Amino acid sequence: MKLRKNLVYDISFIGIIYLAGIIGIRVLPDLFLKTSFISIIIPLVIYLFRFSPNKIDMFLMLLVYLIAFFSEWIGVCFGYLFGDYIYGNSLGYKLDGVPLVIGANWLILCLVSRDVVSRVFSNKLIIIVLSSVLMVSIDFLIEPLSNSLDFWTWKNNTIPFSNYVDWFLIALLNQSLFSFLSLKEDMFSWSLSYLIILVLFFLTFYF
Residue-wise pLDDT for 19-33, tens only, equals 999 999 999 998 899
Residue-wise pLDDT for 39-92, tens only, equals 999 999 999 998 888 999 999 999 999 999 999 999 999 989 999 999 999 999
Calculate the average pLDDT of the chain: 94
Give Cβ neighbours of residue 4 (< 8 Å, ≥ 6 apart).
Answer: none
Phi, psi of 154 (to 5 degrees): -90, 145
Whole-model pTM? 0.94
pLDDT at residue 51, rounded to an integer: 85
Q: Once rounded to an integer, what is the mean pLDDT over residues 181-202?
A: 92
d(CA 19, CA 123): 36
Phi, psi of 34 (to 5 degrees): -75, -10
Residue-wise pLDDT for 36-53, tens only, equals 999 999 999 999 998 888
DSSP secondary structure code for residue 81 in this structure: S
> Collapsing DSSP states into helix, strand and coil, what is residue 54?
coil
d(CA 113, CA 102): 16
Q: Has residue 2 got a pLDDT over 70? A: no
Residue 44 amino acid letter: L
Residue-wise pLDDT for 152-174, tens only, equals 999 998 999 999 999 999 999 99
Residue 88 amino acid letter: G
Q: What is the DSSP string of 19-79?
A: HHHHHHHHHSHHHHHTTTTHHHHHHHHHHHHHH---HHHHHHHHHHHHHHHHHHHHHHHH-
